Amino acid sequence: MPLGTLDGTPPPFFRQGPSALSKLTFFSLLALFLMVADARLELARPLRLAVATVLYPVQWLALRPVVWAQGGGKYFESLKRSQTSEEAALYKLGLQSLRASQVEQLLLENTRLRALLALRERVSTPSQAAQVLYDAADPHTRKVIIDRGLLDSVVAGSPVLDETGVLGQVTRVYPATSEVTLITDREQAIPVLNTRTGARGVAFGDPALRASALELRFMAANTDVKIGDLLTTSGVDGVYPPGLPVARVAKVDRRVDSAFARISCEPLALVSGVVHVMVLQPITSPMAAPPVMPTAAEAARKGLKK
């Protein structure tokens, strides 16, 4: 083949187009033009709206895991916060309930102390305040232990009162404490006076009837005693000052087959649950001592001297 017949142009595979610099310049200018035109004329706004509308479901589905993860985190965070708030509220409620009960207890204690002070002003016998520590361990007796003893000049036989009436009597004294036998104990007896009729009697503890009851014994069946009569100390025993409230008549049982009436009384003192009490000094009996009779030898000796 002769050389003149050969084509000297490069094949299409090796054909060179515009240079890379030319392409960069062209497309940069085109992009700049489109941006200016879009900013001025908003040419691409419909296109963006169409693309956003088409891509919204895909975007919504792609964001669901993220939204669920954030919602679950917020749920557990709010649940923990609610539990913490509930615990704090319950704790505050418990503190407020405790304070309310303490306030009620203090108000009750204050009222009783004021009544005890008022009773102390009405009693002329020397007295001192005491506090009940605990009940005696013997379940068959009605006794309490107070925080006053020999060191506080407490003696056996001292009457013990609370703000409403006679509570009992000191029966055993220790250096720092004392044992008080309540008036409802079966071994305890106290002379009383019916303030309505002036009749005297003796009230005995009667725990067999009730844990806090007294029985007015040895009263004739026809005695003038009514339910509600106030019984006070008569003062004839030389222990209790006269006029201290003891009990009220609760029940009168007049039996035909008995010469004595069965009279049940309710003590006015708080024999169960008392805290603050007043210890009095026992009074001495006003009766003078009986004269001493001389013996026969002394009488004969006096006759010889005469």
Residue of higher predicted confidence among 6 and 96: 96
**For residue 63, what is the enclosing H or E element?**
helix 45-122
The pLDDT of residue 121 is above 70: no
Residue of higher predicted confidence among 137 and 184: 184
Number of C-beta neighbours around residue 240 at 10 A: 26
How far is it, in rounded angstroms, from Cα 291 to Cα 199?
30
Q: How far are the Cα atoms of 64, 144, 172, 237, 245 from residue 150, in angstroms, in the given order?
A: 86, 17, 10, 23, 27
The pLDDT of residue 296 is above 60: no
Q: What amino acid is encoded at 202 in this protein?
A: V
**Least reliable range by pLDDT among 7-16, 40-49, 261-270:** 7-16
Average pLDDT rounded to a whole number, residues 80-86: 85
Dump the DSSP string for 146-177: ES--GGGT--TT-EEE-SSSEEEEEEEE-SS-
Contact 133, 184 (CB under 8 A): no
Environment class of residue 18 by beta-carbon count within 10 Å: exposed (0-12), middle (13-18) or buried (19+)? exposed
Cα–Cα nearest to 203, from 213, 223, 184, 189 = 189
Share of the chain above pLDDT 90, in %: 22
- Quick one: pLDDT band at residue 285, thresholds 50, 70, 90? very low
